[in-house]
Amino acid sequence: MPLVDRIAAARGDLPADLVLRNARLINVLSGEIHTTDIVVHDGYVVAFGFGYDAATEYDLEGRYVCPGFIDAHVHIESSLCTPPEYSRTVVARGVTSVVTDPHEIANVLGLEGIRFMLERAKYGPVNMYVMASSCVPATHMETSGALLDAEDLAPLLSNHWVLGLAEMMNYPGVIHGDEGVLDKLELFSGRVLDGHAPAVTGKALNAYVAAGIHSDHECTTVEEALEKLRLGMTIFIREGTTTRNLRPLLPLVRPHNQHRLCFCTDDRQPNSLLDEGSIDHMVRVAIAEGIDPVTAIRMGTINTADYFRLHEHGAVAVGRKADMVVFSDLHDLRAELVFRDGRLAARDGQVVVEKPSLREINLRDSMNVRPEVMDFTIPANGTRIHVIGGLADQVVTGHLIEDAKVVDGQAVSDTERDILKMAVVERHRASGGIGKGFINGFGLKRGALAGSVAHDHHNLVVIGVDDDSMRRAAAAVIEMGGGLAAADGDTVLAMLPLPVGGLMSEAPIQDVRRDYDALIAAAQTMGSTMYDPFMAMSFMALEVIPSLKLTDVGLVDVEKFEVIDLFA
């Protein structure tokens, strides 16, 4: 029996599989850094101490060892890659476990999409735990490709890799006791219930937390996070590609509360993953900003494991899984060796495990749009318009009221004031539904951007200066079967096919990144001043983030939680 062998190896009566000699262990349980040999057998740490024999030995010569990092909340779909390629990318940086909410593909393909992610996860070198998607659709003010009620989610309860209920984005439904929302909370009672409550405060926040929801990753200020922390929530500090909340929230971290704080990436694009990293990047930044290194590592390891009840992960400790990161510089943590289940997974930033052959999975077509019905004209039914106010490095938006630019009876883009036309086209049911509005902050002087990545419903979103460019960019996305495109007039300048649900590619991440970089470069040649306009665009249709958003149903005042007219 494996347990008998592990005990024998711990006694020293059986040669172990692996020994890391002369390690300086970051012990996240005792809070110490101490020198020891780390003995591993059958994927578990079985002993600390000297005098053990093993089939494989590494003399670390005083290098540090910490637990493999754990991402507390991530949407793998935002990497634009499927789980195997995503896993290879992050394991090379020391991430050995992730907790993912596959609600992006669930909103396109329902349970078929969730099962696809679970199946593909089998082929990656990372433990991929799933939180069952709670909001498909996110609200009634959008059209998604699926509807998942409590009874639809029930079969997931028996899956070992499903830990609980993912972020409950329909916070008004929780606060006001919506029956369907409460059914899901009851179904997962006793499991981990994750939250999503941006800017919710006071009595409304009390009601939200009273429902049994345990975490939040939407905090943007210390004051917001502290109020939630005081009510018993665990705070996931987030650092995505667009959502840069890490530095603003680090003043929250104190010795007496650090155990209730975790790190998550939420949404990271290929360029961020390859250039910066994942949770390892957050640990480095935290240390550079003055957080004690052991505390920073705890927030990326044991705190997350404890919150999700993953008691075999999160620490290099006897009896736990041997997920370990070896590095040399405590103040500039870069993974040199990464072990998952006691096996070497990566060395010096390169994955060493063999890339598996993937079983073909045929998913249904998800781009159901007739290009001929796309009419982006907006008759001027007034002189003042509601405008989405884009904010740098945030998914929250402002709610502006501006004078409309009217030409020949039509409201049009005004590049001098950076007010651009935006449209969201329903793509799941070929209904022809289009929401139309205006947005500020993208900076385009000509052309258009389009994509089938539009959280969380993932309809076809387009932002542009003129209707011809908008139609061409949208048509390019449709022709690819989903993806991202930039067009100037009749010319497509760059594109990235995302054939898996219109969200992901199974190509190597370096190829995805190359095409994505070309898209950003094209957007910038057309005048965009944003670091990543495509990532920003993908959140401008997310009607569960304040203050003003656009879906295929129309313009949504998130604070009122209702569809409003474009003209004020």
pLDDT digits (tens, 9 = 90+) for 515-564: 999 999 999 999 999 988 999 999 999 998 899 999 999 999 998 989 99
Strand 384-389 and strand 434-440: the pairing is parallel
What span, in angstroms and rounded, lies between the C-alpha atoms of 104 and 114?
A: 9
The per-residue pLDDT for 242 is 85
- Here the tokens at position 519 are 């898209």
Q: In the chain, what is the straight-line distance between the N-terminal and C-terminal CA atoms, in Å?
A: 72
* Of 17-26, 81-90, 326-335, 353-362, the least confident: 353-362
CATH class for the region spanning 2-62: mainly beta
The model's pLDDT over 259-294, given as tens digits with 9 standing for 90+, comes to: 999 999 999 999 999 999 999 999 999 999 999 999
The per-residue pLDDT for 240 is 94
Buried b (16+ CB within 10 A) or exposed e, 337-353: bbbbbbbbbbeeeebee
- Here the tokens at position 258 are 């650090």
Strand 192-195 and strand 162-168: the pairing is parallel
The model's pLDDT over 155-194, given as tens digits with 9 standing for 90+, comes to: 999 999 999 999 999 999 999 999 999 999 999 999 999 9
What span, in angstroms and rounded, lies between the C-alpha atoms of 524 and 97?
A: 35
Distances (CA, A) of 220 to 129, 251, 254: 26, 12, 17
> What torsion do the CA atoms of 314, 317, 321, 325 make, to the nearest 10 degrees?
70
Is the pLDDT at 393 greater than 70? The verdict is: no
| 124 — pLDDT class (breaks 50, 70, 90) | confident
CATH of 66-351, one of 1.10.10.10, 3.20.20.140, 3.30.450.40, 3.90.1150.10: 3.20.20.140
Contacts of 192 (CB under 8 A, 6+ apart): 131, 163, 164, 165, 214, 215, 307, 308, 309
| 377 — pLDDT class (breaks 50, 70, 90) | very high
Strand 64-67 and strand 343-347: the pairing is unpaired
Contacts of 428 (CB under 8 A, 6+ apart): 108, 143, 144, 145, 366, 368, 457, 459
Strand 44-48 and strand 491-497: the pairing is unpaired
- Phi, psi of 305, rounded to the nearest 5 degrees: -60, -45
- Here the tokens at position 325 are 């990161």
How is the chain split into domains, by residue range? 2-62, 66-351, 371-564
What span, in angstroms and rounded, lies between the C-alpha atoms of 136 and 440?
A: 28
Helix (H, G, I), strand (E, B) or coil at 369: coil
Is the pLDDT at 491 greater than 80? The verdict is: yes
Helix (H, G, I), strand (E, B) or coil at 393: coil
